[in-house]
Amino acid sequence: MAKDRSSVFRFQKICYIVVIFSICSIILFLSWTHCCSQCYSPFAYQTTLQNQTQPINLLSYPLAWNNLIFPSNPASKFLKIALFVKKWPQRSHAGGLERHALTLHLALAKRGHELHIFTTSTNPSFSNHSIDNNVHFHFSKPSPAGYLDQAIVWEQYQLQNSTIRPFDIVHTESVGLRYTRSRYITNLAVTWHGIAYETIHSDIIQELLRPPQEPQTNAIKERTIKVVEEIKFFTNYAHHVATSDHAGDILKTVYMIPEERVHIILNGVDQQVFKQDNSKGKEFKKKHGVPNSKSLVIGLAGRLVKDKGHPLMFEALKQIIEENNTFLESSMVLVAGDGPWAARYRELGSNVLVLGPLEQGELASFYNAIDIFVNPTLRAQGLDHTLLEAMLSGKPVMATRLASILGSVIVGNEMGYTFSPTVISLKKAIYETWVGGRGILNKKGQVARERGLQLFTATKMVAAYERLFLCISSLNHEDNFCEYHPLSN
């Protein structure tokens, strides 16, 4: 009996070691991927690019296409584009994926391309219609789970594709068009706004932050199974667009998609809306009663929910306010957005002002009113638009050390701060900001703005997608849209 117990104990010990080793391996791999992306600097590659005279095959370009300069004049070829997106939003009520679809495709339509949008509508009175000569909607009732009904949208697509002019390019935002249909389309590009492998990092963070009284979940095990499923069906999409450098690396290495089918195009936001304007910032402060005596104004924006890191931010602010009266007197926190944590933030007193959800114009003024923007997200997926909006507004940013953020947005401390997803690390970053003062923040904000204008504008994003779509649509023709000439662009 003692021998049997000893064997069971040894077996359990081995299991624990295997689990710990697996988790550590994941963390180390994520860190290694980030380090490699940092060592392979876009700036170093750009220096080489400037001296290069030979044409570059865009399908083999290893970095974000936002680094390249494409002609601003209208394309010599106008495309007929099919877009599959789960939801087409109102301008002021859009999540990241929907905002991407809205910004990108309306801009493509303005550049002369014919756009057909296959999306859901819960309004039975909606039918196929146009909002202008270049934008046509094809509505369908959503499935019970809220997704596009694949049978209906496929029938709609085939009907439009069988006209005198078939589609030149098909674009799906994530799995708007499922792989069961996409495998039949060669001129297709899918944009991934998040993949399961990235989320494993989030699952590890959530487990480390889990209170002892809460039961342990099987999230990491379930996520690993989902990664395997994604690896199997991702190959059914002809071309893949990653919205961050890190996601692009993962698609090539872990998901084993050929490099010529993976393209990195970073998210972009409207630079005509989100821009530096000190007068708007002053007006916003006056309107909402923010005293000029405050030497530090911290901004938060977005959905105020758990996975966006608001429990972490709440606890960090609570501890700082309780232990430092000087910080309380000299600083203020503005929270733009709505969600369960809005009420909790209000508990922190009058120095934390919850503004509720803001329209786009008000949000632009909000960024100009703050000294630094903080994004405490715990979700390791894609590039959050709020970081890009703040940077274009000339503000330094502070965010969680997640691979996509470190690899594409806050690539150095010249433009902001990063922190580990712990209360101690976040408090340290906030204190560093406070002690450094507004002068240092202004300098970092200018660097952030320069990087934003270089990479994160809607103009940059649209130009990159347009060239990718032209390239894919011309693969079987003599057009040379897949060639990039450094000296002529």
Per domain, the residue ranges of the chain are 56-268+459-476, 278-456
Domain 56-268+459-476 CATH superfamily? Glycogen Phosphorylase B; (3.40.50.2000)
Any residues with CB less than 8 A from the CB of 473 and at least 6 apart, and which?
77, 79, 168, 169, 187, 481
Closest CA to 484 of 473, 476, 470: 470
Copy the structure tokens of residue 334. Answer: 């503005």
Distances (CA, A) of 180 to 81, 157, 234: 20, 14, 11
For residue 125, give both structure tokens: 């009175």
Mention every residue, 6+ apart, whose C-beta is less than 8 A from residue 42.
63, 64, 67
pLDDT of residue 462: 97
Compute, in degrees rounded to 10, the torsion defined by CA atoms 452, 454, 455, 461.
110
Question: In this structure, are residues 416 and 227 in contact, taking their beta carbons and an 8 Å threshold?
Answer: no
* Tokens 């530090």 found at: 296
Predicted pLDDT at 242: 97
> What pTM, to 2 d.p., does this model score?
0.87
Which residue is associated with the tokens 């949000």? 363
**pLDDT in the model for residue 11:** 44
Contacts of 451 (CB under 8 A, 6+ apart): 391, 411, 415
The torsion angles phi and psi of 172, rounded to 5 degrees, stand at -125, 130
Q: Do domains 56-268+459-476 and 278-456 have the same CATH topology?
A: yes
d(CA 61, CA 63): 6
pLDDT at 132: 72
Q: What is the CA radius of gyration of the chain?
A: 24
The Cα–Cα gap between 299 and 365 comes to 12
Burial 83-110 (b: 16+ CB within 10 A, else e): bbbbbbeeeeebebbbbbbbbbbbbbbe
Dihedral (CA of 272, 277, 279, 285) sign: positive
Helix (H, G, I), strand (E, B) or coil at 115: strand
Element (DSSP H or E) covering residue 80: strand 80-84
How far apart CA 93 and CA 99 sit, in angstroms, is 9
Asked if residues 186 and 206 have their Cβ atoms less than 8 Å apart, the reply is no
Q: Which residues of the chain have pLDDT under 50?
A: 1-3, 5-6, 8-11, 13-45, 47
Q: Are 466 and 70 in contact (CB under 8 A)?
A: yes
Strand partners, 335: 300, 354
Contact 379, 199 (CB under 8 A): yes
Q: Where does 278-456 sit in CATH, by number?
A: 3.40.50.2000
Q: 314-346 in b/e burial notation, b at 16+ Cβ within 10 A?
A: bebbbebbeeeeebbeebbbbbbbbbebbebbe
Contact 286, 358 (CB under 8 A): no
Beta bridge partners of 239: 189
